Amino acid sequence: MKFNDYQYQRPSIDDLKVNFSKLLEQFRSETSFEGQNKTLQKIQALRTEFDSMYQLCYIRHTIDTTNKFYEEENNFYDENLPLVEDLVASFYQELVNSPFKDQLKKHLGEQLFTIAELSCKIISPEILDDLQKENLLRSKYTKLKASAKIHFDGAEYNLSSIQPFEIVRERETRKLASETKWKFYHENANEIESIFDKLVKLRHEIAQKLGYKNFVEVGYARMLRSDYDAKMVANFRAQVLKYVVPIASKLRRRQARRLGLSKLKYYDENFEFDTGNPKPQGPSKWIMEQARKMYSELSEETKEFIDYMLDNNLVDLESKEGKAPGGYCSFIENQKSPFIFSNFNGTSGDIDVLTHEAGHAFQAYSSKQFEIKEYLWPTFEACEIHSMSMEFFTWPWMHTFFKEDTDKYKFAHLSNSILFLPYGVAVDEFQHFVYEHPNASNKERNAAWREIERKYLPDRDYDGNSFLEEGGFWQRQRHIFGKPFYYIDYTLALICAFQFWIKNKQDHKGAWDDYLRLCKQGGSQSFLNLVKTANLRSPFEEGVVQDIVAEIESHLDRVDDSKY
C-alpha cells in the first residue's frame, strides 16, 4: 500500500481509556507468566493503533502546516497525548510490580523494564495539564517557523529555500541573504523568547511537582538515559573543548585561506570553497534515482529497503510553502513503514539529509520484527549512530551525486562533522544552564548562549549583527524547544560514526556486518550495550575522543584542499 492510501481515523480517547483500563486490570489479575505475556501483547496492539494514527497525522501536518484538517488533528494529539502517556505509565507501573517480573524480563529483555522504570519517574496525573500546555507551545514554535516568508531579491522564500543564497560565491549576496533570514528571527524574537520562557518555567514546574530540584534529571529520564549521567556528559564536553576545538579552529583558518579572506564572518562559514560548494548534479527526482542505485549496490538488505520506500512513496523531500522546516524519519507501526521527511534546496545538504534519514529508516525497517514497540527504536543517541554512520557508508557512491566535485564533497563532509562537535556540545551546555537557572531572564539566556558560544566556537564573528552579537543564534535550533537535552546525542553518536568510517576503510565487510547487527538490535538494549554490540568504543571512555579526532585530523591534513 502506498503512503497516500494509508487510512487515517482519529482515535476515540474515551474508547482507548476504557479498553486500556480493562486490559490493565486483566494484566494485574493474571495468575501466570503466560497469561500476563498474552495480555501484554494486547496492550501493545492497542498502543500501536493509536501511535500509528498519531504518526500519520504528524507527517501529513508537517508536510502542509496550512492544511486545516490535520492542523486540528495535531491539536487533538497535543491535548490528548499526555493522557495516553499516563495510561502507558500505568502499564509500566504494573510491569515493574509484576510477580512474574523475572520471567517477563527473561522473555522480553531487560531494556523494556529499564524504560518502564525511567518512564514511571516522569509521569504523574498531576502534571497532565502541564504536558498538554507543553505540547501546544512546541507546536506553536514549529508553526511560527513554518510560516516564515522571507523576501529576498524580488522573490519569497522560507527558512529552507533561502539557504542556497547563503552559500553563493558573491560575498555581499551571502551577507544580505543571511541578514534577511536572521531578520525573521529578530522580528519574531519576542514571540520566540516568550514561547521558550513559558516552556522553561513549565518544565521546571513539572520537575518540582515530580519531586525534583529542577528539570535536568527529568530531561535525562525523558531521554531514557540509563547508563550515563550529566557528570559523564560534562566530562565528554570537556574532552571536545580540549581536543576538538583546536582542530575546528585550524579548519576555519584553512577555510579562510581557501576563500582568500583574512577572517571568516558568520555569513562565510557555510561557503567552503572559492570555486563554489559541491552540490548535487540534478533535481530531486534524479537524486532519488541515484539513491535507488546506490542502496541497491550497497547490500541486499538496503536494496530491499530502498525499493520498499520508493515504490510506496514513503519519502517527501522537496521544500514547499507551508511545509515545516527540517528533516526527520518517522515510523508508522501498523504498516511497519518508515517515512523520510526533508526539505531539499539544491545544496549538498540534500545528500546529507537523505543518507542521514535513510540511516534512521533502514534501522527501523531492519528491526520492525520486534513485537515490543519500545524496541522499534533505540534511545536517541543510539539512533543517531545509524544515521551518521550511513552518511559515511555511502561515501563510495558520492560520485553519482557530485561527479567531479566528489573529493571536494568528502573533504567538506568530514570537515563539517568535526566542526559540528563544538556546536553540538555548546547547545547541550546551554540547555544545562537554562534548566539549572529556570528564572533567568530572556536577556540572561541570550548572554549565556553568547558566552558558551565564545568558549566552543571562538572563531565565530557576527560582523556587527546586533541580534546575533547579543546571543540570538540558539533561537533557530528546534531541538532546544521540542526535545530538551536531545542534542548531545548527535555528538556522542558522531564519535561512534567516526569509528565506523575508520573501520570501513580497513575492512568494509566487517564494518558493515557490525552496522547491520546494530540496526537489527533496534532498541532492545541500552546505548552503551548497543555500542558494545557494534564492536565500538564508548565515547565516554577516556582517550576515545582524542584518538578518534586525531585520526580524522591526520586524514584531513593529507588533503590538499587548495586545489578545490
How far apart are alpha carbons 363 and 439 in whole angstroms?
40
- The pTM for the full model equals 0.93
Q: What 3 state SS string does 485-554 have? A: CCCHHHHHHHHHHHHHHHHHHHCHHHHHHHHHHHHHCCCCCCHHHHHHHCCCCCCCCCCHHHHHHHHHHH
Domains of the chain, residue spans: 3-130
CA 491 and chain centroid, separation = 11
Instruction: Determine the pLDDT at residue 21.
Output: 97
Encode the chain (564 residues) as per-residue pLDDT tens digits: 999 999 999 999 999 999 999 999 999 999 999 999 999 999 999 999 999 999 999 999 999 999 999 999 999 999 999 999 999 999 999 999 999 999 999 999 999 999 999 999 998 889 999 999 999 999 999 999 999 999 999 999 999 899 999 999 999 999 999 999 999 999 999 999 999 999 999 999 999 999 999 999 999 999 999 999 999 999 999 999 999 999 999 999 999 999 999 999 999 999 999 999 999 999 999 999 999 999 999 999 999 999 999 999 999 999 888 999 889 999 999 999 999 999 998 999 999 999 999 999 999 999 999 989 999 999 999 999 999 999 999 999 999 999 999 999 999 999 999 999 999 999 999 999 999 999 999 999 999 999 999 999 999 999 999 999 999 999 999 999 999 999 999 999 999 999 999 999 999 999 999 999 999 999 999 999 999 999 999 999 999 999 999 999 999 999 999 999
Within a 13 Å sphere around the CA of 531, how many CA atoms are in the beta-carbon half? 24
- Tens digits of per-residue pLDDT, 376-386? 999 999 999 99
Instruction: Determine the pLDDT at residue 326.
Output: 87
Instruction: Determine the pLDDT at residue 489.
Output: 97
CA 235 and chain centroid, separation = 22
CB 433 within 8 A of CB 326: no
Instruction: Determine the pLDDT at residue 371.
Output: 87
* DSSP code for 339: E
What are the φ/ψ torsions at residue 155 (nearest 5 degrees)? -135, 170
- Tens digits of per-residue pLDDT, 17-70? 999 999 999 999 999 999 999 999 999 999 999 999 999 999 999 999 999 999
Instruction: Determine the pLDDT at residue 551.
Output: 96
CB 70 within 8 A of CB 60: yes
H/E run at residue 151:
strand 150-152
How far apart are alpha carbons 479 and 223 in whole angstroms?
13
CB 348 within 8 A of CB 277: yes
H/E run at residue 249:
helix 245-259
